[in-house]
């Protein structure tokens, strides 16, 4: 059992940790999901309009609106793309997810109870969630190689190349300020926003409708991976979404998958920063071949960590 947590705020809801958390009865699942989708689209458009207004006032090239960024883009263009990414993350995920939860589960206390965000997790549970992400890396890389070998329409591959170029451009970090900005935009904001939308709303609602939790977790992971529109990475992102969803369901604590998500994305940002500062020889943007036995060991380690997490609940 976890030791008493001095940072604990309140225990507003009783639930069976042995069976995993299932959200309480509430509004119609279909309605909640449709409203979430509507808010995400509406706020995404509003965010794009805000960025366009800023770009026009500043005299920037509007081409950045398409998400295009060269791998060797100059610092000014990288900062423009970061602003676009920040606005997009905030409006599409954080704002849309939070307003949806607040709308259907008022007042504020009920919203936080619904999200299971009242209590800070114990450090062992938190570190276990991060460890789960770390031990999954070989399997994630192995699945990425399998995914790349699958046939994809040429339009998908072109879109994938454009996205990869933009990511490489963003991960060009000449100084600590760029590293800090990337850590916020690529690690922190997605960890909060995407967990809020996909785990806090989508997964919670599917758990209300579907009697088999694993089916709800898998469906949420499929949606999570698909919505990124990076199909060469669909399978590895599906695995990560499933692990994050399991952490949320098993621990009944919103901050555990947030911390795990942040650690996964933040490790990539840190790795590239160290590489560009010539403090590391590992370029994470290059394809890394993982042998099958490393992926098999990764599977065993994932199961071991999952068992350890489950035994603490």
| Contact yes or no for 46/230 (Cβ under 8 A) | no
Band of the pLDDT at 22, cuts 50, 70, 90? low
pLDDT of 113 > 50? The answer is: yes
The model's pLDDT over 236-278, given as tens digits with 9 standing for 90+, comes to 999 999 999 999 999 999 999 999 999 999 999 999 999 888 8
What total number of domains does the chain contain?
A: 1
Joined tokens for residue 17: 């940790």
- Looking at the domain assignment, is residue 192 inside a domain? yes
Q: Give the pLDDT mean for 104-109.
A: 95
d(Cα 310, Cα 313) in Å, to the nearest integer? 5
- Looking at the domain assignment, is residue 107 inside a domain? yes
- Looking at the domain assignment, is residue 213 inside a domain? yes
The model's pLDDT over 219-235, given as tens digits with 9 standing for 90+, comes to 999 999 999 888 889 99
Please tell me whether the peptide bond between 203 and the residue prior to it is cis, using omega within 30 degrees of 0. Answer: no
- Looking at the domain assignment, is residue 196 inside a domain? yes
Residue-averaged pLDDT of the chain: 88
- Looking at the domain assignment, is residue 7 inside a domain? no
pLDDT of 7 > 70? The answer is: no
pLDDT of 96 > 90? The answer is: yes
Band of the pLDDT at 144, cuts 50, 70, 90? very high
- Looking at the domain assignment, is residue 18 inside a domain? no
- Looking at the domain assignment, is residue 2 inside a domain? no
Q: Give the pLDDT mean for 159-177.
A: 89
What percent of the chain clears pLDDT 70, i.e. is strictly above it? 88
- Looking at the domain assignment, is residue 167 inside a domain? yes
The answer to which of 190-194, 196-200, 280-284 has the lowest mean pLDDT is: 280-284
Nearest to 122 by CA among 203, 223, 2: 2
d(Cα 140, Cα 259) in Å, to the nearest integer? 18
pLDDT of 70 > 90? The answer is: no
Cα within 13 Å of Cα(204), Cβ side: 30
Rg (the chain; Cα; Å): 20
- Residue 79: which domain range? 29-312
Give the angle subtended at the CA of 43 by the CAs of 75 and 222, to the nearest 5°. 85
Three-state helix/strand/coil letters over 156-173: HHHHHHHHHHHHHHHCCC
| Contact yes or no for 140/212 (Cβ under 8 A) | no
For position 6, what pLDDT does the model report?
Answer: 39
Q: Give the pLDDT mean for 92-108.
A: 97
| Contact yes or no for 184/84 (Cβ under 8 A) | no
Q: Give the pLDDT mean for 43-69.
A: 85
d(Cα 253, Cα 117) in Å, to the nearest integer? 6
Q: How far is CA 205 from CA 104, 186, 202, 218, in A?
A: 11, 26, 5, 13
pLDDT of 10 > 60? The answer is: no
pLDDT of 203 > 70? The answer is: yes
Q: Give the pLDDT mean for 292-309.
A: 96
């Amino acid at each position: 059992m976890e030791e008493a947590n001095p940072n604990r705020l309140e225990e507003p809801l009783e639930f069976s940790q042995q069976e995993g958390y299932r959200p309480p009865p509430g509004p119609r699942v279909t309605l909640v999901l449709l409203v979430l989708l509507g808010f995400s689209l509406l706020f995404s458009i509003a965010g794009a309009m805000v960025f366009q207004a800023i770009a026009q006032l500043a005299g920037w090239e509007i081409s950045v609106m398409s998400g295009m960024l060269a791998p060797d883009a100059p610092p000014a263009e990288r900062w423009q793309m970061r602003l676009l990414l920040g606005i997009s993350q905030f409006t599409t995920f954080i704002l849309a997810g939070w307003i949806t939860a607040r709308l259907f589960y008022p007042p504020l206390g009920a919203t936080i109870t619904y999200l299971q965000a009242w209590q800070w997790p114990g450090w062992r549970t938190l570190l276990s969630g991060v460890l789960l992400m770390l031990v999954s890396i070989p399997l994630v890389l192995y699945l990425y190689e399998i995914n790349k070998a699958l046939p994809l329409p040429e339009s998908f591959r072109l879109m994938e190349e454009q996205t990869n170029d933009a990511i490489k451009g963003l991960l060009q970090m000449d100084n600590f300020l760029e590293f800090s900005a990337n850590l916020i935009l690529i690690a922190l904001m997605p960890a909060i926003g995407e967990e809020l939308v996909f785990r806090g709303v989508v997964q919670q609602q599917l758990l209300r409708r579907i009697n088999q939790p694993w089916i709800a977790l898998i469906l949420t992971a499929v949606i999570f991976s698909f919505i990124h529109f990076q199909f060469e990475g669909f399978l590895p992102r599906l695995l990560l979404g499933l692990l994050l969803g399991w952490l949320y369901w098993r621990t009944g604590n919103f901050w555990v998958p947030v911390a795990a998500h942040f650690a996964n994305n933040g490790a990539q940002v840190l790795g590239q920063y160290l590489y560009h500062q010539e403090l590391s020889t590992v370029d994470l943007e290059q394809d890394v071949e993982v042998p099958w036995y490393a992926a098999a060991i990764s599977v065993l380690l994932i199961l071991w960590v999952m068992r350890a997490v489950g035994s603490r609940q």
